[in-house]
Amino acid sequence: MRVKFFDRKGRRKKERTSLSESQKGRRKKVAGVVRKHLREIEKRLVEGETRDIILDWMCVETGQEIPKTTFIKALYRARQWAQKEQMKVARIAAVPVSSPVVATPQSTQKRPKKEKKPELQVTEAEPDYLALLKAYEATEKKSDPIETIKRLRAEGKIK
């Protein structure tokens, strides 16, 4: 079903498709069908069937035409989903069952007092201006292109 939109002056605007015709809803259905039949698909792939044969089987099974690229993407995503599900199950199985914890009222619990950290006293020493000046001059000398060329000529790296 296509719905036509008109602006105030009566000119036709973009045509929109309803949700039943949209590609988004179709992809969701394909992804769900692929996840549902993932074990069967994997079993057939191991037996040596190609994706094209499996795609034809899926089209017959679902009664809808599925593009090959959509099927391949849905299969890839379904494999990722299955891997995450396996990890969740393993994580849940690994968590030990602990004994129930008895809750105590908040008023009876005492919080430990925080110890005050001794503040460090920083003595401000006068900066060594001569060392700072020499460091600045050294960096200026290295960044000056003329000085760099002179140095490279003296080393024999350039003519």
The whole-number pLDDT of residue 137 equals 76
Asked if 87 and 146 sit in the same domain, the reply is: no
Nearest-10 Cα torsion for 7, 11, 14, 15: 100
CA angle in degrees (0–180, nearest 5) for 133-136-141:
125
| Residue 58 CA: distances (Å) to CA of 25, 54, 71 | 17, 6, 9
Structure tokens at 100: 């129930």
Asked if 26 and 78 sit in the same domain, the reply is: yes
Asked if 76 and 29 sit in the same domain, the reply is: yes
Is 9 part of any domain? no
Asked if 86 and 132 sit in the same domain, the reply is: no
**Is the Cβ–Cβ distance between 4 and 15 less than 8 Å?**
yes
Last residue of a domain, one of 48, 71, 93: 93
More confident residue, 55 or 118: 55
Number of domains in the chain: 2
Which of 2-6, 74-78, 143-147 shows the lowest mean pLDDT across its residues?
2-6
The whole-number pLDDT of residue 147 equals 76
Domain of residue 141: give its range: 127-159
pLDDT digits (tens, 9 = 90+) for 17-75: 555 555 555 545 788 889 999 999 999 999 999 999 999 998 888 888 889 999 999 99
Last residue of a domain, one of 93, 113, 147: 93
Is 154 part of any domain? yes
pLDDT digits (tens, 9 = 90+) for 84-107: 888 887 777 776 655 555 555 555
Is 113 part of any domain? no
The whole-number pLDDT of residue 65 equals 87
The whole-number pLDDT of residue 46 equals 92
Averaged over 94-121, what is the pLDDT?
Answer: 63
Asked if 25 and 78 sit in the same domain, the reply is: yes
The whole-number pLDDT of residue 53 equals 93
Q: How far apart are CA 121 and CA 29, in angstroms?
A: 68
Helices (H), 63-107: 68-94
Is 3 part of any domain? no
Last residue of a domain, one of 93, 116, 145: 93
**Which residue in 158, 134, 135 sits closest to 146, CA to CA?**
158
Asked if 145 and 85 sit in the same domain, the reply is: no
Asked if 84 and 29 sit in the same domain, the reply is: yes
